[in-house]
Amino acid sequence: MEGRNVVVIDQRPLPHQFKLLRLRNHRETAEAIRNMTIRGAGTIGATAAYGMAQAFLEDSSARYLRKAYETLVTTRPTAVDLKHALDRVLIEAHDAKTAVAVAERITDEYVERMKRIGEIGLPLLPKNARVLTHCNAGWLAIVDWGSATAPIYTAHRRGRKVFVWVDETRPRCQGANLTSWELLNEGVPHKVIADNAAGHFMQRGEVDLCIVGADRIAANGDTANKLGTYEKAVLAKENGIPFYIAAPSSTIDPHCPNGDAIPIEERSEDEVHFIRGVRVTPRGARAANPAFDVTPAKYITGIITERGMLKPREVRKLWKR
């Protein structure tokens, strides 16, 4: 944060252009979350926390703060880290100064949690491991380390060879645009594949494990993540491949009993109709565009959190400790 401005990486023009944006007030910050200028559950949470701090700086009256909260919390309904971060700022902050401090603390905690997830997930990656990812759960999505990429980056930085299959992740192509860009910057060997190619490589024995992120984990272990995660999990189960979720404990929603209760965001049809401004469907065609799907707990081998490796059925216990 610079003064009252929240400074973010604009993820929309990546990988072809690196651009920083300065968001001048909580409304601009909310719009940047809504229009996917910034993406990823943890980054959404951290950015929203700073947006709430901006609201404190603008007008600390209870009425104004409640309205700002509603503006921010409704931007992305599936990602629970958003609400978690906003609630913390409202509960822990007493004025503008402490609101900024809480937002900074939330961001710093994400860094430490992701580093810990990297350590806990490291034993899952033997030398020469071949990992399949879906969407972007890297340091663009969760500050500094990412969640799904944290074990990969930890292994790579320690000299343990690892290879990554990167799903392109239509319709926004976060895998092709963002994860591949990150991996290139980290020097991690990888190949981008069409979403429909994952089963092919699993069937040929060329995938050792899958690690993906999460936007919300229900109390029974059902997990919402980017659309297409569910089918990857089913394919992994069919081919005897471990399927892991990597996410901070803040992504677990103890008030959400199961996947049926997770709200699924429906985004604009244009995200399906157009790729970087070029229409790929016939004029007059309609499109459906759910942003997420839910992977039932039975397809998940384990959930890597900063508080340890969990079986899906153990998620509920985490909040009773």
Nearest to 105 by CA among 54, 53, 145: 53
For the annotated catalytic residues, the residue numbers are 215
Q: Rounded to whole angstroms, what are the CA distances from 141 to 47, 186, 258, 268, 319?
A: 11, 15, 24, 21, 24
149 vs 125: CA distance, rounded Å = 12
Q: Rounded to whole angstroms, what are the CA distances from 204 to 167, 195, 239, 254, 311?
A: 16, 16, 9, 38, 27
What is the sign of the dihedral through the CA atoms of 64, 40, 211 and 232? positive
Of the CA atoms within 13 Å of residue 261, those in its CB half-sphere come to 13
Catalogue the E-assigned strands of 110-217: 129-133, 162-167, 190-193, 209-212, 216-217
End-to-end CA distance of the chain: 34
81 vs 45: CA distance, rounded Å = 5
243 vs 311: CA distance, rounded Å = 11
Which residues contact residue 47 at a Cβ distance below 8 angstroms, ignoring those fewer than 6 apart?
A: 6, 8, 29, 32, 33, 38
